[in-house]
Amino acid sequence: MSSELKVAVGQFVATGDWAENLETCADLVRKADAEGAGLLVLPEGVLARFVEDRERIREVAQPLDGPFVTGLARVTEGLSVTVVVGIHERADDGDAGGKPFNTLVVLRDGAVVAAYRKLHLYDAFSMRESDNVMAADAVPELVDVRGFKVGLMTCYDVRFPELARLLALAGADVIVLPAAWVKGPLKEHHWNTLVTARALDNTVYVVASGESGPRNIGQSLVVDPLGVTVAQAAEEPALLTTVLSAQRLAEARDRLPVLANRRFDVDPNPRRIAMPAAAASCSE
């Protein structure tokens, strides 16, 4: 592992126009690379955002070889930064009823190096992401970024500590968390508490990118393996940068050996759940 990894977190307001969002992401990629970041984390589902008429997610979803991903991949050609960005990915399964996946795409030097399809769909707080999105069943593989092992989670995943634990036990040093965290009573408190808890209870860095705007809270943050917030944005568009330290990681795990002291393992096989009746849909 390198001794340090500079990370950047991009926060912005996604629109309903994928081409406009692509330009915003491309600008953040270039800025992050110019600042020497090895990793840039962008929000969840930024291919297109609809406050109302959310079933249009099905219409605007694109495959991984579609114009949004390929366009952003071209921006990364020749750059040293690895980019994590969330899109809605058109599914190949004809039985999916037109529902896409909520997918994190990892881009580096012009290529897709990994993808994670969201496991936990936001069917909570009277909203139902599963009305328009299909859940996946696979725990994501880790991605190597300059010697740091990076695990992938998306938004509502943060409420399920077993996924973060699985990633930590697989060897994650860092967990990235693109999100579109919806405003509401206590929601800002939940966001900060959960991101901090996942870092602290697994002694990992958590790099969380939140979409901003009238619907979502923004408040991107980076939390270190002892639960200390080392960088945070407010509600407006922003580009944060900070440095992750291998020494800090090692010291945290020496002082707080929760992974070694644990008494229980986590089953990596997703359980099957019955979906309730349809209602509204959203991302958290």
Residue pLDDT, tens place only, 263-274: 999 999 988 766
Bridging pattern class, strands 238-245 and 4-11: antiparallel
Q: Is the pLDDT of residue 279 over 70?
A: no
State pLDDT tens for residues 155-183. 999 999 999 999 999 999 999 999 999 99
pLDDT at 5 over 60: yes
Confidence of residue 2 (pLDDT cuts 50, 70, 90): confident
What is the pLDDT at residue 186?
96
Catalytic residue among 25, 89, 99, 118: 118
155 carries an active-site annotation: yes
| Residue 132 scores a pLDDT above 60 | yes
Question: Which of 44, 129, 211, 284 is flagged as catalytic?
Answer: 44
Task: Find the mean pLDDT for residues 139-152.
Answer: 98
Active site includes 118?
A: yes
**Model pLDDT, residue 25:** 98
Q: Is the pLDDT of residue 281 over 50?
A: no
Residue 186: Cβ within 10 Å count:
9
Is 25 part of the annotated catalytic residue set?
Answer: no
Please tell me which residue, 205 or 279, carries the higher pLDDT value: 205
Helix (H) or strand (E) holding 258: helix 258-261
Of these residues, 89, 99, 149, 155, which one is catalytic?
A: 155
Q: Name which of 44-53, 79-88, 147-156, 163-172 the model is least confident about.
A: 44-53
**Secondary structure of residue 195 in the 3-state scheme:** helix
Rounded-to-integer distance, Cα 207 and Cα 175, Å: 6
Per-residue pLDDT tens over the stretch 176-232: 999 999 999 999 999 999 999 999 999 999 999 999 999 999 999 999 999 999 999
pLDDT in the model for residue 271: 84
φ, ψ of residue 46 in degrees (nearest 5): -90, 5
Query: If pLDDT is split at 50, 70 and 90, which confidence band does 154 have?
Result: very high
| Spatial distance between the Cα atoms of 281 and 269, rounded to a whole number of angstroms | 26
Rounded to an integer, the average pLDDT of 47-67 is 86
Output the average pLDDT for the chain: 93
pTM of the full predicted structure?
0.94
In sequence order, what DSSP letters do the residues of 15-78 get, joined into one string? -S-HHHHHHHHHHHHHHHHHTT-SEEE--SSTT---SS-TTHHHHH-B-TTSHHHHHHHHHHTT
> Strand 39-41 relative to strand 4-11: parallel, antiparallel, unpaired?
parallel
For position 50, what pLDDT does the model report?
Answer: 72
The answer on pLDDT for 248 being more than 90 is yes
190: tokens are: 């939940």
pLDDT of residue 17: 94
CA-based nearest residue to 151, from 174, 169, 179: 174
- Tokens 């040093």 belong to 173
Q: Tell me the domains of the chain and their CATH numbers.
A: 4-261 (3.60.110.10)
